[in-house]
Amino acid sequence: MRLSQMLFVTLRESPAEAVIPSHQLLLRAGYIRRIGSGVYSYLPLMWRVLRKVSQIVREEMDATGAQECLLPQLQPAELWQESGRWDTYTKAEGIMFAFQDRQGRDVAMGPTHEEVITAIAKDMIRSYRQLPQHLYQIQSKFRDEIRPRFGLMRGREFIMKDGYSFHADAEDLKATYGAMDQAYRNMFRRCGVEFVAVEADSGAIGGSGSQEFMVIADIGEDEILYTADGHYAANVEKAIAIPTPAIPSPFTAYEKRSTPNTPTIATLAEYAQCSPSAILKNVLYQVTYDTGLLVLLLVSIRGDQDVNDVKLYNAAARLAPELGASTVLAVEVPDAEAQGKWAAKPLPLGYIAPDLGDDYIAHMPSVHPHLIRWVDETAVELKHFVTGANEPGHHVFGANWGEQFTLPTVVDVRKAMAGDQALHDPNQTLLSARGIEVGHIFQLGTKYSAALGATFTNEAGEELPLVMGCYGVGVSRLAQAAVEQCHDGDGIIWPVAIAPYTVIIVIPNMNDGEAIAAAEKLYQDLTAAGIETLLDDRNERAGVKFKDADLIGIPYRIVTGRSLKAGKVEVVQRATKTSEEIPIDAVVEVIQGWYEAAVS
């Protein structure tokens, strides 16, 4: 491709909409343009990158025997109503773009395809003889994200590879899940990113396991906890570890004390001159179930620890059947306005005790009349602790479970943190890093097949729901994550395998016929050899061309400059900025060698 003929516009300044380097660089280098909130056009350079990433994904999927297909993006509401996700996706999370067609039927733009694929499996799979099956597709997904941001990292329309497998039993699912783990490692390695596989939360769906693949980057939205020995890595949402020991409480006698202006753990620890780990923190949550029922949940946890929102959500979801509901729509710390809707009298916020009474809850049909009380494992062993007195400006000191307070139901809702001891080896402390989730593999089980009635007949003639797995890769997010990981002050440094072009030939002086002729010849030779090459034949100054070449991040830059006199050209490697003079006749072979070495 000749740059002089390409729709190629670079920007000197970063547009204000972009705050992270990869987003700034993709905009500045002319790869993408924003069309609306979370909606981007992939311009020709970007599309080449996305096609390469997709091709690597496709090759690794095909190698496992998975079959590519293309499912509809427009999906009827009935499928989602059958699976029970219509309300959560359109109302609670509101992540699905849903609307009515001219006949007044509800339809939505696909955020994911479990429902569609399960309907197909229900229709086409009858017998264990047809199993296993694994179908995947690469296509644009639509999600009305609350906070679209960082360009392609969190878009409202983005490209995903999603695959779904069907099995006769959990054992067979595990085999495919293992093959996907390997395929994903291959994909990310081939795309040239540094990544880590981490244990992930499987949500309320349960299932027997899920794993995320994270590209390590400071701007990553996910926190990863891992050990230096390489034996443990988990998303903080899922991580488990041994908390640091509590420092014993100095308050051996029980008494209520006035503690003015101490509504937080920090202010109280300062006032009482004790460790936060000697304080029992009581956090009030309100849980909304799909039936509309509101339940108030009081969680007691050691003062130096925090509640893991995901674990709490999952625990609340497990309570659903008992409360006549099937899912949780939201778990929130109620603000003043929310409290106003159900509180019978003002709450002693900041001074709540584990025995806060049910009399704070107004009698209303939509509100569960009893507080549900939980204590996190960390707080069970506490002795002589300090905690709220249910009275503003007051705490009790030297309290014990079984004396002043009844021990509530014990749960594990603690958020693991850096500095905790690892379970597999207490000499290892957890370290923290940030990551960008680029893939997620998931043992789903029978949630969707059971809901949609997708069954098969096994060898014994029994009719059973299909056992499912699902596997996603954020193709467009992965492409940008590579930029986030590989760039410098001058621009993008594409990993060779996913660069839009492998070589850029720069003609430094467009008035020099010899330089033009040499560049044209090299352009033809490289192209003929199958090396994707850009020719910068624009009427621009050499400095401008070099800057642009660095900005767009093409791995190898050839300059037909002064060394032509000696029958050579200058070849610069973008990643290292190393420059060497190579005889013109040897260029194709040298670059071919570099390319092979880089993508193998």
Instruction: Enumerate binding residues for ligand ATP (CB under 6 A).
Output: 112, 143, 145, 154-155, 158, 160, 437-440, 472, 474, 476-477
Which of residues 239 and 298 has its CB atom nearest to ligand ATP in the complex? 239
Residue 509 neighbours by CB under 8 Å, 6+ apart: 515, 542, 561
Q: How far is the CB of 238 from ligand ATP (least distance, A)?
A: 12
Which of residues 158 and 342 has its CB atom nearest to ligand ATP in the complex? 158
Q: How far is the CB of 217 from ligand ATP (least distance, A)?
A: 13
Residue whose pair of structure tokens reads 């390997």 in the numeric block: 182
Residue 168 DSSP SS3? coil
- The closest of 64, 63, 82 to 132, measured between CA atoms, is 64
Which of residues 45 and 200 has its CB atom nearest to ligand ATP in the complex? 200
Q: What is the Cα–Cα distance from 39 to 17, expressed in whole angstroms?
A: 13
Given a contact cutoff of 8 angstroms between Cβ atoms, the answer to whether 572 and 559 are in contact is yes
Q: What kind and span of H or E run contains 467?
A: strand 467-474
Provide the sign of the torsion angle of the four alpha carbons 186, 188, 193, 197, taken in this order.
Answer: negative
Residue 247 amino acid letter? I
Which of residues 8 and 31 has its CB atom nearest to ligand ATP in the complex? 31
Residue 184 neighbours by CB under 8 Å, 6+ apart: 60, 197, 213, 439, 441, 471, 473
Q: How far is the CB of 51 from ligand ATP (least distance, A)?
A: 17
Which of residues 310 and 467 has its CB atom nearest to ligand ATP in the complex? 310
Q: How far apart are the first and last CA of the chain?
A: 25
Which of residues 117 and 559 has its CB atom nearest to ligand ATP in the complex? 117
Residue 244 DSSP SS3? coil
Q: How far is the CB of 493 from ligand ATP (least distance, A)?
A: 22
Which of residues 143 and 384 has its CB atom nearest to ligand ATP in the complex? 143
DSSP letter, residue 152 = G
Q: How far is the CB of 492 from ligand ATP (least distance, A)?
A: 19
- Strand 74-76 to strand 106-109: parallel, antiparallel, or no bridges (unpaired)? antiparallel
| Dihedral-angle region of residue 272 (phi above 0 means left; psi in -120 to 50 means alpha; beta otherwise) | alpha
Which of residues 142 and 166 has its CB atom nearest to ligand ATP in the complex? 142
Q: What is the Cα–Cα distance from 375 to 403, expressed in whole angstroms?
A: 16
Which of residues 447 and 477 has its CB atom nearest to ligand ATP in the complex? 477
Q: How far is the CB of 221 from ligand ATP (least distance, A)?
A: 6
Q: What is the Cα–Cα distance from 166 to 518, expressed in whole angstroms?
A: 57
Beta strands per DSSP E along 389-466:
394-399, 409-411, 431-445, 455-457, 463-465
Q: How far is the CB of 201 from ligand ATP (least distance, A)?
A: 9
Q: How far is the CB of 246 from ligand ATP (least distance, A)?
A: 33
Q: What is the Cα–Cα distance from 434 to 104, expressed in whole angstroms?
A: 45
Which of residues 221 and 512 has its CB atom nearest to ligand ATP in the complex? 221
Q: What is the Cα–Cα distance from 595 to 600, expressed in whole angstroms?
A: 8
Q: How far is the CB of 49 from ligand ATP (least distance, A)?
A: 15
Q: Which residue is nearest to ligand ATP (CB)?
A: 474
Residue 579 DSSP SS3? strand
Q: Which tokens go with 477?
A: 């997010």
Q: How far is the CB of 148 from ligand ATP (least distance, A)?
A: 7
